Amino acid sequence: MRVTGINHVSISARDLEQSTRFYVEVLGMERIPTPRFETPVQWLRCGDLQLHLFLDDGEAPRRHHLGLTVDDFDAAFEAVATWTSSEWGNELVELPSGQVQLYFRDPADNLIELNWPDASTLDRSRYPMLRRLVDVVPQPRESLEAVLYLEAAPA
């Protein structure tokens, strides 16, 4: 037996409707039919996968996060900046592979990471806060080969 993929990820929402609106309006996910459970939930389509939001007033784990690929980094950056306050605390990182990670927090304080495959396609003048990880943390040779996007696994 082996796992063949990830079907869905579940994260908490302090206000289920507010979090659902965030993922639908800001990140372009789609509400999908959701069964009723003892605790209110909302399922969302995210490409071929699902994000499940569940009502919970507990604190979100500080470092657990959800990594999402976007189809338009500039639009995603603007949408997130518009939704959040001027002190939204983003972190924009270029990996040694040239791939980009934008970190921010959703309405329930979950850490979200938006991924972009190629920093060279971005207008760096729009992102003065973009920092190269290799300039901040020394990288051993094997770490220089790390990538966010894997080749398809053999069948």
**CATH class, range 8-145:** alpha beta
Number of C-beta neighbours around residue 4 at 10 A = 8
Residue 89: is its pLDDT beyond 60?
Answer: no
Mean pLDDT of 5-11: 94
Tell me the domain boundaries of the chain. 8-145
CB burial of 37-58 (b: ≥16 within 10 Å; e: otherwise) equals eeeebbbbebeeebbbbbbbee
- CB-CB contact of 40 with 53 (8 Å): no
Mean pLDDT of 114-141: 95
Distance of CA 133 to the CA centre of its chain: 18
Whole-number pLDDT of residue 154: 75
Question: Alpha-carbon distance 130 to 127, whole Å?
Answer: 6
| Residue 145 CB partners (closer than 8 Å, separation 6+) | 97
Residue 88: is its pLDDT beyond 50?
Answer: no
pTM, entire model: 0.91
Structure tokens belonging to residue 50: 């699902």
Residue 7: is its pLDDT beyond 60?
Answer: yes
Find tokens 């990182």 and name the residue. 93
Whole-number pLDDT of residue 35: 97
